[in-house]
Every structure is written in structure tokens, then in C-alpha cells.
Amino acid sequence: MGIVAGLDSSPEFTRIVVCDTDTGAVLRQGYAPHPVEGRPSDIDPQAWLLSLGEAAGGGLLEGVQAIGVSAQQNAVVPLDAQGNTVRPALVGGDKRAQVAAADLVDALGGREAWAQAVGCVPQAAQPVTKLRWLAKNEPENAQRVAVLLQAHDWLVWQLLGRPLRRTTDRGGASGTGYWSAATGAYRPDLVELALGHQAALPEVIGPSEAAGTTPEGLLISAGTGETMAAAFGLGLGLGDVVVSLGASGSVMAVHPEALADQSGMITSLADATGMYLPVVTTLNAVRALRGTAELLGLPDLESLSELAVKSTPGAHGLVLLPYLEGERTPNLPHTAGTLAGLRRESMKPEHLARAAFEGMLCGLADALDVLRGRGVEVRRVFLLGAAAELPAVQASAPSLFGAQVVVPQPADYAAIGAARQAAWALGVSQGSLDPRTPPAWQGAAAQVLEPGEELAVGQAVRQQFTAVREQTHPGAFRP
């Protein structure tokens, strides 16, 4: 069929891969940082276009027949009636909006009301919350907002020459806080609740549909958020779960239906294929490791890992509840971390190092249990993030998660997922692919770890962690 491109516009850079349409093999790639220092909360979207142009330089896109766009999630691009930006895009975690998130939760009648309405409870990062912040803090700008786009919607619209029709995909829409994955419909009343008035929203098109074609004949697919694109690039299917080890952690599964969760512990997202991505997040993952390394005077996580493997499973009874920033799973926003099981023989640096790794992974295993408790199948756990390469993580994760663990080789999975989407839309437009079945590309090269004989040991460590959690925070966790 030819070649397609996928571009990923992340918070800091644009990365482009050009792939073989049939196999997904990466043929060439481009990269450019955004011309902005750091990670500000406000950014002129033109910066995304500038780095896109630079990344695509040198004839990178020569011969490409279709392009898919992946971009950072939670970015809101507010446009006026003429299609111009009202103000810079609101991007990132945006702690400014924490009060706005609490306001919105109360305005609709609590966490359960939001979980029922759109499958998620407003957080500071979400577009719906940023709209509330805008209405409260910049009322004149809020009044001028006529159209709401996300980062990938805006980039697709620009690539197509700013047509009258504006589109998005169900994956991106499901993270806004005003589109429900369960019903597949917008909630314009929630936009009005947040912004103070209605605004035009992009049309949600199907996973294999094209957003349009450029005047030069280049097909542009629907595009999607980075999370959905990375899942598609990894080739995830039913029974697959992704555990992401960032400063905070997330556990995301592929599931055939949207999971409504009255507690709000599960955020119900849609994926880029027609399935669903229920997500459970923890506030503390690698930040617990970094804090422990600093406490022990170690220069990096590799040193902490080396120290931890000198200890044994269970860390001589030492248990760290890693709730250093409060916690979302379980919902303990104002708590602190706990170190339990201190005895003379356990008061050694290697045992504390081991307890930090086990505490982080047990916290993520709790999040995994939330999904298991709702009937989500867990065959394989894909472990992502730089910390996934650490020996202390790889030694414990399979037995603590109770599943096969897959550590994919580092690659541009979001850009690859965007390219796979482009190949799908191209194949459907040419009549060579089924609109319900994406192209079968090669899976990610990966290291596979089995729980094996360590499973019973891992479950004993989990029980030790659970006993301390229940003693310290009785009844807080109900998966």
C-alpha cells in the first residue's frame, strides 16, 4: 500500500515516524523540540506548528499518503467566532485549577454525579476544569470563546487548512469531562456549567474515518490523545493492562465496555479502536523512589535499585505506604506516607530501599485490583516508564501483580500508533481494510517476565502491605 506518517506532539517536542503501511516498520523519523522553555501552563499553539515544520524538514514526508496525529491530552485551545485563539492554550497538570475542580464537583452534586454523567470526576488537569478556571479568572476571555478544541483537534484542523468542519475522535473526547464514553455523546450542559455559556464542539468521528484530505491529496486520519495512540502503537488488546511509572502512576486496561464507577476511582476513557480504556491512577509512584533515594543519600534510582536487591522479599517486615502526596487510590487526599514494621534488624538501608519499591508496586497492584474487581481480564501487564528497566522493579513486579509482565523496548509508541491509525484510514478509503479491524502491525519488541515460583512470595508481600494499609487507614480501600 505504501507509506504513512504518525506525528506525536507531546508537551515538549514533536516526533514524526514514517512507517511501512503493511508491516508498521519504521522507515525514517524526525524530531524537534517546541520553541518554548520548560513546561508552562499556557502556550501559543503556533509553537506546535513550528516544531512540526522543523521535525518534518529534509523531505521526511516525501511519498507519504496519509498522516495520523497524536498530541498531549488535557490541552484546551479556546477559539473565537473567527477561529482565532482567544488566549494561549491551557495545557498540562495546571495546579491553578484545583479550586475550580472542587467547585465543579460540588456544582453537579458530587463525585457520583460526575462519574454517572461522563465517567470521570473533574481533576485540575481536565479541559472541563480549565474552562471553569477561565470563567472565574478571565471572564472577558471566557465570554469570547466560541469553539473548543484539544491539541490534536487543532493540529488536524490546521493540516487540513482550517476547514468549516472540525473533528475529534472518541479517545480524545473521552478525556474532556464533557463527553461520555458510555453514551458516546457530548454533555453541552457541562460546558455551560464550567464556561458560563455554550461553545461549538468538534464532531466525533469513528476510529477508522478520515478527518479529511489536504488540497495536495494527503489523507489526515481522526487523530487521538497520546495515551490512546501509545496503546494503539503497542498493539494492546483484551487482557492487556498498562502500568505507567511516572512521578505518579496509572493502571489502564483494554475493555469491551465503558465502566461506570460511582466512587470515581475509575476514569472511563475510550480508546482509538472502538474499545474502552478504564484507568485508575495513583498519586505516588516514582516520586516515592526518588524521596527514598534522597533520604538514603543516593545519587539516582539505579543506586536505589542496586541497594534494594541486597534485601529480600518483604524487606524484613518493613512496609512503606507511599502516600507522600496524599493519595487517589485509595481516596486519601490529605494523608501522608507511613513506614511500619521498624525493628532493630529491619533498620538497614537495603531494607528501606526494598520497602520503597514494594510499596510503590503494591500501591499500583491495589489500583490493578480495582479493575479486576470490575471484571477486567488481566493476562499481561505492560510496564512503561524509565523505572520499568530497574532490576528491583523487574524482580518484584510479576509476583506482586500476579501476572506476566512485559517491558517493551523504548520506542515512539504514540507516534507509531498515530501512523497505524493513518494506515487504517487509508486502507478503508481504498477499500482494502475493514473499518472495524485495524491493520495487523508487528507488536512491540519486549522483555517478558513471568511470576513463576515467586508468585506465592509476592502474594505474601501484598498481604503484609494490605495489613498495614488496613490498620493505618481502616476501610479506605474498597476495590
What is the DSSP code string of 26-95?
EEEEEEEE-SSSS--SEE-THHHHHHHHHHTTTTTTTTEEEEEEEE-TT-EEEE-TTS-BSSSEE-S--G
DSSP 447: E
DSSP H/E element including 268: strand 266-270
C-alpha cell at 306: 542496586
pLDDT in tens, 120-141: 999 889 999 999 999 999 999 9
Helix 188-195 × helix 98-108 angle, to 10° = 130
> What are the helix (H) ranges across 296-447?
301-308, 349-372, 391-401, 413-430
117 close to 260: Cβ distance less than 8 angstroms: no
Secondary structure in 3-state letters for 215-238:
CCCCEEECCEEHHHHHHHHHCCCC
Tens digit of each residue's pLDDT, the chain (479 residues): 699 999 999 999 999 999 999 999 999 999 999 998 777 889 999 999 999 999 999 999 999 999 999 999 999 999 999 999 999 999 987 788 989 999 999 999 999 999 999 999 998 899 999 999 999 999 999 999 999 999 999 999 999 999 999 999 999 999 999 999 999 999 999 999 999 999 999 999 999 999 999 989 999 999 999 999 999 999 999 999 999 999 999 999 999 999 878 788 899 999 999 999 999 999 999 999 999 999 999 999 999 999 999 999 999 999 999 999 999 999 998 999 999 999 999 999 999 999 999 999 999 999 999 999 999 999 999 999 989 999 999 999 999 999 999 999 999 999 999 999 999 999 999 999 999 999 999 888 899 999 999 999 999 999 999 999 999 999 999 88
Q: What is the side-by-side strand order in the sheet with 42-43?
A: 42-43, 89-90, 76-79, 147-150
Measure the CA–CA gap between 443 and 386, rounded to whole angstroms.
20
How far apart are the two ends of the chain, measured CA to CA in Å?
Answer: 47
CA gyration radius, the chain: 22
Measure the CA–CA gap between 385 and 456, rounded to whole angstroms.
26
Per-residue exposure over 36-67, b if at least 16 CB sit within 10 Å of its own CB, e if not: beeeeeebbbebbbbbbebbbeeebbeebbbb
Measure the CA–CA gap between 181 and 196, rounded to whole angstroms.
24
**Secondary structure of residue 174 in the 3-state scheme:** coil
| Angle in degrees, CA 235, 405, 239, rounded to 5 | 50
Measure the CA–CA gap between 390 and 412, rounded to whole angstroms.
20
**Secondary structure of residue 464 in the 3-state scheme:** helix
Report pTM.
Answer: 0.93
pLDDT in tens, 323-369: 999 999 999 989 999 999 999 999 999 999 999 999 999 999 999 99
DSSP 104: H
What distances in angstroms separate CA 479 from CA 79, 182, 371, 373, 459, one per listed residue? 41, 21, 8, 6, 17
104-107 — which CB contacts under 8 Å span 24+ positions? 104/128, 104/129, 104/132, 104/193, 104/194, 107/193
Instruction: Count CB atoms within 10 A of the CB of residue 187.
Output: 19
